[in-house]
Homo-oligomer: A and B are copies of this chain.
Amino acid sequence: MTVSVALQQPTAAAALLPSHQARLEYRSGKGWSTAGVANGFVQGNLAILPEKYAGAFHRFCQLNPKPCPIIGMSDPGNPHIPALGADLDIRTDVPRYRVWRDGEMVEEPTDLLSHWRDDLVTFVLGCSFSFEEALMADGLPIRHIEQGCRVPMYRTNIACTPSGPFAGPMVVSMRPFKPAQAIRAVQITTRFPAVHGAPVHLGHPDQIGIADINKPDYGDPVPVAADEIPVFWACGVTPQAVIAAARLPFAITHAPGLMLITDLKNKDLAVL
């Protein structure tokens, strides 16, 4: 009998996707970073808004698909998004949330059970983790990963197309590459429009309003060598900054670096 149980356990575990397993651990209260967790599975940025604002935000994403690529969306009040994961519960499965009131972050809970409302609409937006996997699979080095820090991010002078209360500048992330690598990175990320797609800029940071490449507005600085080119991608911090600036009475996002892990595979986001 003992042998039989021991044999059954691995079988049961194998039936659960690593992404699903991770969500169950976060659901049980573990509030740690999702970096490196359930490799190969798509992680998403989270925006949860009252239905009253959801239409305008949805249009904002539609109008600004590079910083705000929607990979999943819930019905109002429904905490489940079956297309993104079996048994996914948006109220509990993200390791840590940020609750915003009137544009101020007021709490960082590990679940939303006491915050949930019947009018909340969840948006899940693509994240650069997915295209970084493809870049690394191609042998391209990712500087901030090599350095063990967060990707440097910058507010630009590129205005997003506004929608209702949602407006503001595009935020970009930066990865330095040698020229031939930069060309390859354009090709690879072009295949992934659902996770920011091709870069929006390269080579002349001052042209997009970045005065000092060594002073990112978010994340950590990384060195750019003399023989390298800084390459800039639209960044999922854009919608979070826009939501904060809109000063909605109530909104929820994920805490930076603690994302929603979905059952989608990164490789399946490639359009070709």
On A, residues with C-beta under 8 Å from B are: 178-180, 182-183, 186-187, 190, 198-204, 207, 227, 229, 272
Contacts and interface: CB of A to CB of B under 8 A. Distances in A.
11 contacts: A179-B202, A179-B203, A179-B204, A183-B186, A183-B198, A183-B201, A183-B202, A186-B187, A203-B203, A207-B227, A272-B272
Contacts of A207: 178-179, 227
Q: Is the interface of A mostly helix, strand, loop or mixed?
A: mixed
A166 to B, nearest CB: 23
A87 to B, nearest CB: 37
Contact of A203 (B187, B198, B201, B229): B229
Given A227-B207, A272-B272, A201 B179 contact: yes
Q: How many copies does the complex hold?
A: 2
B182 A203 contact: yes
Nearest to A272: B272
Of A182, A183, A207, most B-chain CB atoms within 10 Å: A183
Given A179-B207, A183-B200, A190-B190, 11 more contacts: A180-B200, A182-B202, A183-B198, A183-B201, A183-B202, A186-B186, A187-B187, A187-B190, A204-B227, A204-B229, A207-B227
Contacts of A203: 179, 182, 202-203, 229
A214 to B, nearest CB: 19
A227 B203 CA distance: 9
> Top 7 closest A-B pairs, CB basis?
A186-B186, A203-B229, A179-B201, A179-B202, A179-B203, A203-B203, A187-B190
A198 to B, nearest CB: 6
A104 B198 CA distance: 46
B204 A180 contact: no
